[in-house]
């Protein structure tokens, strides 16, 4: 410890509250599931803070607006840059449906279908919201003209040389991620 740096405990005490609000899971290749679980946990925390609104007798349209404005952004924060799989999307959809059931005051024991609850709540579907965010992000990247690498990566074409030909055969392996178009297609099917 140098003479000019404050003790670690003083830094922790001063910035611990700030760090808990801005910390995110460091994302690598395979730990998006951790971030999705974290987003679901934070979504439930936001939902819990507003539970008195959701359990009150105010009209359903106002509850829907509160959910769409306060809880859904917490669940979808940062999803525009994630390579989402069908499993991760279904995790987010399950959490959203559970929140919708809590808004309506219906448990799983009542055996009421998700479509009927969705018709009643009129909440924005999380898969549609993520798809919209991904398309907005792609448009944002495409419109940038400041020479950053994001646009260069989008427009990159491999060079063809006589010794190094690019293989153009279609990939026969298992699709691991969903693009925005496929995401919208999957959300309609589910």
User: For 79-134, how does the pLDDT look when each residue is reduced to its tens digit (9 = 90+)?
Assistant: 998 888 899 999 999 999 999 999 999 988 888 999 999 999 999 999 999 999 99
Which residues have a Cβ under 8 Å from the Cβ of 44 and sit 6 or more positions away? 95, 99
CA dihedral 175, 42, 47, 140 (to 10 degrees): -60
Please identify which residue in the block is written with the tokens 């924060």: 77
- Give the model's pLDDT for residue 143: 84
Reply yes or no on whether the pLDDT at 3 is more than 80: no
Cβ pair 118, 100 in contact under 8 A: yes
Average pLDDT, the chain: 79
* Helix, strand, coil tally for the chain in percent (to 5): 65, 0, 35
Cβ pair 35, 19 in contact under 8 A: no
**What band does 4 get if pLDDT is binned at 50, 70 and 90?**
low
- Give the model's pLDDT for residue 174: 58
75 secondary structure, DSSP code: H
User: What are the b/e assignments for 49-65, b being 16+ CB within 10 Å?
Assistant: eeeeebeeeeeeeebbe
Give me the sign of the Cα torsion angle 97, 103, 107, 111: negative
68 secondary structure, DSSP code: I
- Give the model's pLDDT for residue 157: 74
Residue pLDDT, tens place only, 14-60: 555 444 544 555 555 567 899 999 999 999 999 999 999 999 999 99
Q: If residue 111 lies in a helix (H) or strand (E), which one and from where to where?
A: none
Reply yes or no on whether the pLDDT at 61 is more than 90: yes
- In angstroms, rounded to a whole number, what is the distance separating the alpha carbons of residues 35 and 43? 12
Reply yes or no on whether the pLDDT at 156 is more than 90: no
């Amino acid at each position: 410890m140098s003479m000019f740096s404050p003790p670690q405990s003083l830094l922790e005490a001063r910035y611990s509250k700030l760090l808990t609000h801005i910390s995110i899971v460091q994302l690598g290749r395979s730990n998006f599931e951790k971030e999705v679980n974290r987003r679901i946990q934070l979504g439930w925390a936001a939902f819990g803070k507003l539970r008195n609104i959701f359990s009150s007798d105010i009209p359903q349209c106002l509850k829907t607006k509160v959910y769409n404005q306060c809880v859904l952004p917490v669940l979808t924060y940062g999803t525009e840059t994630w390579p989402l799989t069908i499993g991760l999307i279904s995790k987010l959809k399950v959490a959203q449906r559970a929140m919708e059931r809590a808004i309506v005051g219906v448990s799983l024991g009542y055996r009421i279908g998700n479509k009927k609850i969705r018709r009643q709540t009129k909440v924005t579907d999380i898969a549609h919201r993520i798809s919209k965010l991904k398309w907005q992000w792609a448009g944002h990247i495409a419109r940038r003209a400041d020479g950053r690498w994001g646009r260069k990566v989008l427009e990159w074409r491999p060079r063809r040389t006589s010794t190094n030909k690019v293989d153009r055969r279609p990939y026969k392996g298992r699709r691991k991620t969903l693009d925005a178009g496929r995401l919208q297609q999957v959300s309609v099917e589910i």
